[in-house]
Amino acid sequence: MHHHTSLREHLDELAARGQRPAFEVIEDPTLVAFAALLDESGLLALDANKRLRTDAWSPIYDCWTESQTTPTATVERFEAIWAPAWGGTDPVTGFRTGWDSALLGGTPTVTMPQDERTAALLMLVTTTFLHLSADRYGTQLCVRGAMEASGSRFRYVTLDPASLGRSTTSAPTSARPQRTFWPST
């Protein structure tokens, strides 16, 4: 898989240059579903990312998740490649692992794990989101996403707390998992 940085790493780079992106507060069914996925998983933090390969002959997305179970736990990364499935075909059939070759063709599909990693990646490949991120701080959730905007810009969004009927917020730094970038809301 090609090496790409996650949106968190991208936001960290922006912060290092003194640029703070503005997060738009929205009610969005994908963000609500991602919040529910984090709740059901028992994870502390879950990120899902996709990136279109620009050097491929057909649409291929590099996809990956990063998850964390406790504030001091190691971040676990899961990677897969996704190619759009034909109409009427389950999108999960587009996931593969390994390298594609212009000479030898694509890699075979793989059996994806039946857990939050696959569910998160399916949310990405079936929507316009490029990144989804959710973090838990006790009973509070912070859910964010990013989509492409005009040009090479991103539209950064955060879930409206009213969408969940409970508190969503950015927690104090001391309560956060060991992650690189924490935009304030």
> Which structural domain, as residue segments, surrounds residue 104?
7-175
Other beta carbons within 10 angstroms of residue 20's beta carbon come to: 11
Over range 25-53, report the average pLDDT: 92
- What is the tally of structural domains in the chain? 1
pLDDT digits (tens, 9 = 90+) for 110-165: 566 677 888 898 899 889 999 999 998 877 888 999 988 877 778 999 999 888 87
pTM: 0.76
Q: At what angle do helices 29-41 and 116-125 cross, to 10 degrees?
A: 170
Q: What's the pLDDT at 172?
A: 37
In whole angstroms, give the CA distance from residue 79 to residue 48: 10
Tell me if 185 is assigned to some domain. Answer: no
Tell me if 57 is assigned to some domain. Answer: yes
